[in-house]
Amino acid sequence: MYFHSLTIDLDGTLLDTVPDLAEAARRTLLELNEPPRSVTEINHFVGRGIAKLVERCLTRDAPPTAARLAAAVKVFQRHYSEVNGRHTRIYPGVLEGLAAWRASGIPMGVVTNKAAMFTGPLLERMGLAAYFDCVVSGDTTAYKKPHPEPLLHVCRQFGTAPARHLHIGDSKHDIEAARAAGCAIYCVPYGYNEGEAVDAADCDALVSDLLAAYRLALTHPDLETK
């Protein structure tokens, strides 16, 4: 196979986590005496980590102060730790795709903007942790996606040249991170992407699921053999 390593986004690519995030947001806003947000709104707020999600939940006429946001994030974290994985579901094609990728023998990782305190427990709870050799959360490196550092960090861990690394995600942040890192990028159409549809023209391929991504990767020409 042309690719020597693989990373996959978590929220919106491997797992539909919005039901849990929405419940944590509901509890948080109720505790803070703030108006509720709809599940659709939460869907559009996901993608840049918990702090940004909470900030968007609180922003009405103006964004919250730094102190207000920090306090609200702690409330959200408390509630999210209670519901993390309770209503989350694995997207169709994920288990089949992970099995195919694992059988290929290349190392696999998760790259997410979710904090490590939630990422590890969620992967364990959903039975996915054993598939991955590396997990990069939103606080693993100094930067989150769309910065390239999380992907470059994985490439260094795996000893892979970025050009031989494939990332699979659902959003413009995944695309921007992969492009900046010099990695290939496949996107799935069913994720969140802050309410914006992923454009097939912006990524190397738009695939229906992880199994389709594996099958497509097998057809990628290995230039070293030509």
Enumerate domains of the chain plus CATH numbers.
Answer: 5-16+89-225 (3.40.50.1000), 18-83 (1.10.150)
pTM of the model: 0.90
- Please confirm, yes or no, whether 9 is among the known catalytic residues: yes
Residue type, 140: T
- Indicate which residue of 9, 20, 170, 209 is catalytic: 9
State the pLDDT at residue 226: 34
* Distance, CA of 220 to CA of 214 (rounded, Å): 10
CA separation, residue 214 to residues 2, 97, 191 (Å): 12, 7, 18
**Per-residue pLDDT tens over the stretch 99-127:** 999 999 999 999 999 999 999 999 999 99
**Per-residue pLDDT tens over the stretch 67-104:** 999 999 999 999 999 999 999 999 999 999 999 999 99
Q: What is the DSSP annotation of 68-133?
A: HHHHHHHHHHHHHHHHTTTS-EEPTTHHHHHHHHHHHT--EEEE-SS-HHHHHHHHHHTT-GGG-S
* Distance, CA of 5 to CA of 167 (rounded, Å): 9
State the pLDDT at residue 225: 42
Beta bridge partners of 89: 16
CA separation, residue 206 to residues 20, 80, 110 (Å): 27, 31, 19
Tell me which DSSP letter residue 201 carries. G
State the pLDDT at residue 164: 97
In degrees, to the nearest 5, what angle opens at C-alpha 21 toward C-alphas 20 and 27?
90
Beta bridge partners of 179: none
